[in-house]
Amino acid sequence: MNGGKYALFRVQGRGFALAVQQLAQVLDAPRIFALPELRKPFAGVLLLGEEPVPFFDWRRPDPISAPPASTPYVVLCNTEFGMLGLPADEARQVVPLNLNDAEAAGEEPLPGAVGNCRVGEEQFAVIDLELLLTTLPGEQ
C-alpha cells in the first residue's frame, strides 16, 4: 500500500496532511521574527530553544497586517535541508491514509501537494516536503 499515518491540519480553510515521520513538533503560537531579503514564501524564523527555524508562510497574503502575521500553530517538519515551520490554524487527528485513493490536487493547490485525500466530509492535501522545497526559486 502507498500510504501510512498522516497528521491532519487546516490553514485558511484548507486541509493538509503530513506524514507523521516528517513531523517533529507542533508549537502553540510561537513568536515569528521577520527577516529581510528572504525568498518568498519564507517570512522569517521562529526559535526552537536557541535555534532559528525557517518559517515557510504558505498562507495567502493578508493585505492588512504586516508580515509575518501570527499563527495559532506552527507545524515543525524535518526535511533533508533542516527543520521547517509551517503555519496552521487547526491541528486535527492522526489517521491512516491510502495514497492510492488520492484525487488530483486541483486548482491552486498548497505548495508540495501531491493529491487530496478525503477524511469524513473534508479534503486534505497530502504534502510532500521535498516537492514543496523544489517550488522555491533559486538555489538550495
Partner 1 sequence: MTTGAMKLVFRLNGIGFSLPVDHLVEICEDDFVWQELADRSSGEPLLGRLAWRDGSLPVFDLRGRLGLPPDSPFSEVQKLLVLSGRPGPWGIMVDGVEGIFPEGDFSAHRLPLLLQHADLTYRQLDLWRTEPLVCADAETWAGCWGWQ
Q: How far is the CB of 52 from partner 1 (least distance, A)?
A: 5
Closest to partner 1 by CB, 117 vs 129, is 129
- 10 bridge partner residues: 15, 90
Closest to partner 1 by CB, 45 vs 125, is 45
- Cα-Cα-Cα-Cα dihedral sign, residues 135, 136, 139, 140: negative
Cβ-proximal residues to 132 (8 Å cutoff; 6+ apart), any chain: 56, 111, 112
Closest to partner 1 by CB, 8 vs 27, is 27
Closest to partner 1 by CB, 98 vs 135, is 135
Q: How far is the CB of 19 from partner 1 (least distance, A)?
A: 19
Q: How far is the CB of 27 from partner 1 (least distance, A)?
A: 15
The site for partner 1 (CB under 8 A) is made up of 33-39, 42, 45, 47, 50-54, 66, 79, 81-84, 133, 138-140
Cβ-proximal residues to 119 (8 Å cutoff; 6+ apart), any chain: 8, 15, 95, 97
In 3D space, the residue among 16, 12, 8 whose CA is nearest the CA of residue 131 turns out to be 16
